[in-house]
Amino acid sequence: HTSHASYSDKIMVSFILGTALLLLPHGSHAFAPSSTRRIGGSNSIISSSSSPSKIKPSSTRHNMFTGIIEEMGEVISLETRDDMTLWDGSKGTGTEMVLKGDIVLDGAYLGCSISVNGVCLTATEIDEDAKTFKVGLAPETLRKTNLGTYVPESGQRVNMERASEIGGRNSGHFVQGHVDNVGTIMDQWIDENSLFFKIAFPYEFMRYVVPKGFIAIDGTSLTVCDVHSEGEDGENWFTFMLVEYTQKKIILPSKKVGDTVNVEVDVLGKYSERAWEAFVPKMEALETKVKQLEARLLDLEGGESTASSTDNNVVYGEPIGLSNVAAAATAPAPEQVKNDTEKWVRAEQTFINADDMRRDRKNTDGTEW
């Protein structure tokens, strides 16, 4: 808000942000309570084919993360298989990744969500002895993220985070684990104890990137510093920096110019845009109707109007709707409004006193009222 913003502008902005917040999921994908029975012992592996009693049942919940990385894990294997069993018993082709972690397996169960480099993935197998878990990578995941570029056992690390607990703190921001696209590191430099990165990013997403706004980079909740957008054919980039503590807790400092990062813009911006798109046509329709009524009133009073009520294709008295917004600018006004010989002047009118509205009132010629 600025000091020059009108009251109506502030109300409008408050409405849009309030609507966006209401659209955000109010729950989160919480981990199983500590009382949940876990499978231990030698060579214990929980898989999707395990006995139902060994699988923590899941209820309807939303996947949500905070962007506060809990540990850096390791990619053990990345394999494409053509013998994966689908829901109807047929065989399909798919990609699976096995990862090693420690903290993220605390409370983990089959079907739980774990963020890997900012990608919300579902655990399909858990080996507690080896501290590993398996996830599936859908074709859309491989298209939108950099997970398919990882080489197993190459020493490459990934950021990991468990889904946030219901009612728990959120020291980052609302991170869904739904990566929008990959960005490319254009430059990096040191500013005293801070490490800066400059990221090239597709223009179509730049409208959601704002200075001092939230952004998730490889699953890490960070603050945008500078934003530069020249359009589809120009340069589009943003910068952010890592404080000393964060540099030692995530994988970003190990990356170099030319490497890619998974980027998820702040979902609140998307919800706000969607709410605004639904709200604006109604406001435009209302403004059009007000202008028509002002023009009509001036015509009736014999005044001069800067807007003509005869230039609009609107039937007066009809409700405003999205279907007639486009037509609101071209319909003729009623015939009596266009008759210049019949002007309505307020000062020349005689108004009825409410006290005279009696059942026995007579017309001036003596007939019944």
Catalytic residue annotation: 65, 113, 120, 122, 138, 178, 223
CB-CB contact of 327 with 313 (8 Å): yes
- Using CA atoms, how far residue 276 sits from 270, 272, 287, 304, 324, in Å, is 10, 6, 16, 35, 19
Contacts of 269 (CB under 8 A, 6+ apart): 207, 208, 210, 213
CB-CB contact of 178 with 247 (8 Å): no
- Using CA atoms, how far residue 305 sits from 74, 277, 292, in Å, is 72, 31, 10
CB-CB contact of 120 with 61 (8 Å): no
Exposure letters 293-303 (e unless 16+ CB within 10 A, then b)? eebbebbbeee
Rg (CA), the chain: 31
Cα separation of 296 and 341, whole Å? 15
CB-CB contact of 82 with 144 (8 Å): no
CB-CB contact of 309 with 328 (8 Å): no
List the end-to-end C-alpha distance of the chain, in Å, as a whole number.
Answer: 57
